Amino acid sequence: MKNKRAKIRNQKRIKNKLKKRIKERIRNRKKKPSGAPSVRQTILILDFGSQYTQLIARRVRENKVFSKIIPYNTPAKEIAAMQPKGLILSGGPASVTEKKSPYPDAGIFKLGIPILGICYGMQAITEMLGGKVKHTKEREYGKIELFIDDNRDLFNHLPGNFTCWASHGDLVTKIPVGFHTSAHTMNSPIAAISNPKRKIFAVQFHPEVTHTEHGNKILSNFLFKICGCLGRWTMESFIRESIEGIKKTVGNDKVVLGLSGGVDSSVAALLIHKAIGKNLRCIFIDNGLLRKDEPQQVKQVFRNMFHLNLDFVNGSKRFLTRLKAISDPEEKRKIIGDEFVKVFEEEAKKLKGVKYLAQGTLYPDVIESVSPSGAPSKKIKSHHNVGGLPAHMNLKLIEPLRELFKDEVRSIGRQLGLPDTIIQRQPFPGPGLAVRIIGEITPERLELLREVDKRVVDEIRNAGLYEQIWQSFAILLPIKSVGIMGDERTYENVAALRCVSSFDGMTADWVKLPYEVMEKISNRVINEVKGVNRVVYDISSKPPATIEWE
């Protein structure tokens, strides 16, 4: 009888404990709002200046893991505070055999975070942990054959040998204590090293480039097998995190955003609108440098379709007055940027409670203007989306797309319901047609270019090529040429046609347009646009040229 009573009491205790746990879980669920973002798993990329650093970031993201590029010399304490799942040390142009070579904070090796060194990253790891690197005359550049010595961890489930892409003039001659060689090439006895106990790995080649066979598998082994990432970073999660982040940052304050109608500003506007609703005030500035019918299209989509607070400002006269007799491209950009800020300042003063200025800045915008590593870099041109905000504006900056590439932004746009006419719209420069008119800008030349540009886009669309091409547009040149129309001599303007293919705008190649498409464009422009009698085609790639002419 005693045993039976004890058993009943024990069952009651268990039931009471279960009830308490259930109640506690319910309370916790109430505290945590539905749809709240989970902690983002991040891979940090320490940038040593490699031309492939951004490509590493893209490859990681393609595996549904968030990646972020940070300066190579970021203190270990700051890295630890970011709680990354792993670190990747990029390649770079420097050599560890030289004085004042860049090195990461030695404290990263004490954090217990998995590390992958690529090319220069491998050499830096080797030198810092007691190994040796020497310069060699027999450089490895281009495609080489890699032979696997250890198919665990980094090279798990890979064949015994395959082609990879190398670009280095230094070789590891002695590995640090605790490491072993995991791959070699014919010229390099030590092409990859591993220390599974400390979770530190390094390769002498570039797994991030497409020329390396199984490169993505190597990176995914690092991400999932070594770092333990779950691969749950998607555009859906980004949208959720961004909305929550904007709500938390802005609160009940107001945000003003310059809406151009392009993909970047449009997606930024909808993200912020979802977060704070009517507290977002969008301003569309007609600077007189836009394409044909563009203002009307923006009004139709954002005011009528999405019901955003949208103000229209006609600043054409102001912009064109300041641009009169200006031919230098950098001066044009500075004037347009300066006037844009002035208009914003004036409009913001009319609104109460505005404390934030939003921009659709993308990652390539930042990269092209300032080196993310903090290393010296030559600025090619100023960028309309980066910097330029005077301190007296008293507006804090919000850039919800700053860490994204163009294709990622388009993916977000689709999920937010943007029409294809905006999602697939080709990039258009902030200074507008001002950087597509070489030389002085006048109302007459602007109208001429608008008509030419419309026919270029029409024929590219008619050929079914618009969405396949990164950018297709016309440039009005500062020269005239002799021509014949009917039996009369003409002396009229020359228009250049520019069509490029690209993935993210960082590099670009000229498009080999079908001859019949080029012929239709040329015929329509010359026959229908009075003032143009010659069309030429730009066959330059980026680099060495830029996509825009100015």
The pLDDT tens digits of the residues spanning 290-341 come to 999 888 888 889 988 899 999 988 989 999 999 999 999 999 999 998 998 8
Nearest to 354 by CA among 257, 246, 267: 257
Q: Considering the chain, what percentage of its residues have pLDDT values greater than 70?
A: 86
Nearest to 70 by CA among 57, 59, 60: 57
The pLDDT tens digits of the residues spanning 477-533 come to 999 999 877 767 888 999 999 999 987 677 889 999 999 999 999 999 999 999 999
Question: Roughly what angle, to the nearest 10 degrees, separates helices 316-323 and 329-349?
Answer: 150
Positions marked catalytic: 119, 206, 208
Contact between 145 and 161 (Cβ < 8 Å): yes
The pLDDT tens digits of the residues spanning 408-417 come to 999 999 999 9
pTM: 0.69
* Euclidean distance between CA atoms 335 and 339, whole angstroms: 6
* Three-state secondary-structure class, residue 345: helix
The pLDDT tens digits of the residues spanning 100-147 come to 899 999 999 999 999 999 999 999 999 999 999 988 766 677 788 999
Q: In terms of pLDDT, which residue wins out, 289 or 489?
A: 289
Reduced 3-state DSSP string for 164-175? EEEEEEEEEEEC
Q: Pairing state of beta strands 115-118 and 86-89?
A: parallel
Q: Pairing state of beta strands 280-286 and 192-195?
A: unpaired
DSSP state of 464: T
What's the mean pLDDT when you consider all of the chain?
86
Categorise residue 251: left if φ over 0, alpha if ψ from -120 to 50, beta otherwise.
left
Nearest to 229 by CA among 41, 475, 99, 452: 41
**Secondary structure E strands in 237-395:** 254-258, 280-286, 310-314, 354-358
- The half-sphere exposure of 215 on its side-chain side, counting CA atoms within 13 A, is 22
Element (H, E) at 492: strand 488-501
* Euclidean distance between CA atoms 196 and 230, whole angstroms: 20
Element (H, E) at 54: helix 53-62
Residues 6+ apart with CB under 8 A from 141: 166, 167, 168
Paired with 488 in beta bridges are 485
Please state the rounded mean pLDDT for residues 82-99: 92
pLDDT at 29 over 50: no
